[in-house]
Amino acid sequence: MERSFEKYLRQSRLPHMWCPGCGNGIAMKAIIMAIEKKGFTQDNTVIVSGIGCSSRASGYMDFDTLHTAHGRAIPFATGIKMARPDLNVVVITGDGDCTAIGGNHFIHGCRRNVDLNVVLFNNNIYGMTGGQASPMTPLGMKATTAPYGSVDRTFDVCALAAAAGATYVARSTAFHVTHLADMIAAGFDNKGFSITEALVQCPTAFGRKNRLGSPADMMKWMRDHAMMKAAWDKLPADKREGKFPIGCLYKSSDEDYDTAYDRVIHIAGGDK
Ligand code: SF4
Ligand code: MG
């Protein structure tokens, strides 16, 4: 039987190194579904990743790919987009990679409104490097660096992105896979900085430390606590405790960086 997504994967790199039950493969497939949905190809899409479990995806995906340095995917992707604005540039990053090591690159990517499509695999922890707390580890949850529960407050990366200037901000989960693919695809339509936060289960580093049960239990938690944005908006503030919204959370039509930069080139006479 033909498996339709096989052609998008580098067979020589398989089997992958993700743990059984990890959500990263689901998020990777959602990206490929979005690429197919929008009619992009392996030749006009570039995948750029940083370092971490999430960022391994660039090695498995048979596109033009860059597996870069920790936290630095957005600067590399910015360079590609400036040189080749015709390409669909997708950045795969994790919560640690994007909001700690690469935090400053992230906010300035948003501020510039570079036409990139960031998909942040949020597993709430540093998975690959040993289960340390990240800026997106929920308050009170355990990590190897927070054995009694994290006391550091947690970034809401969607609120952070919108405040910093991103023009498309969405969230979904590994449980809601078609919704996740749709959110990523809608980001492709935005000419400007798009970010989709994909909540993914990490049964090994996060789940085990916090006794969250099996990978399926972790996905059921996503099902039971995520709420579509329209329903979330109608919910009184005192009923929101423990829930979180998914969907397109913010959108604006601010000018993207390529367009602004083209104007500078024109003023300087560089396009003659
Ligand atoms: Fe997935 Fe967590 Fe294993 Fe990394 S450590 S591969 S995120 S389950
Ligand atoms: Mg992580």
- pTM score of the predicted model: 0.97
Specify which residues 91 forms β-bridges with: 48, 118
Instruction: Walk along the chain (272 residues) and give the pLDDT tens digit of each residue.
Output: 456 899 999 999 999 999 999 999 999 999 999 999 999 999 999 999 999 999 999 999 999 999 999 999 999 999 999 999 999 999 999 999 999 999 999 999 999 999 999 999 999 999 999 999 999 999 999 999 999 999 999 999 999 999 999 999 999 999 999 999 999 999 999 999 999 999 999 999 999 999 999 999 999 999 999 999 999 999 999 999 999 999 999 999 999 999 999 999 999 998 76
Residue 203 Cβ contacting ligand 1 at under 6 Å:
yes
Among residues 67, 85, 58, the alpha carbon closest in space to that of 192 is found at 85
* CA 200 to ligand 1: nearest atom: 7
* CA–centroid distance, residue 29 to ligand 1 (Å): 16
Please count the CA atoms within 13 angstroms of the CA of 227 that sit on its side-chain side.
15
**Residue nearest ligand 1's atom 5 by CA:** 127
Enumerate residues with CB within 5 Å of ligand 2 (an ion).
94-96, 123
Report the pLDDT value the prediction gives residue 2, as an integer from 0 to 100.
Answer: 55
User: Is the CB of 195 within 6 Å of ligand 1?
Assistant: no
The reply to whether ligand 1 has any atom less than 6 angstroms from the CB of 53 is yes
**Run of H or E residues at 58:** helix 57-60
Q: Do residues 159 and 167 touch, judged by C-beta distance below 8 A?
A: no
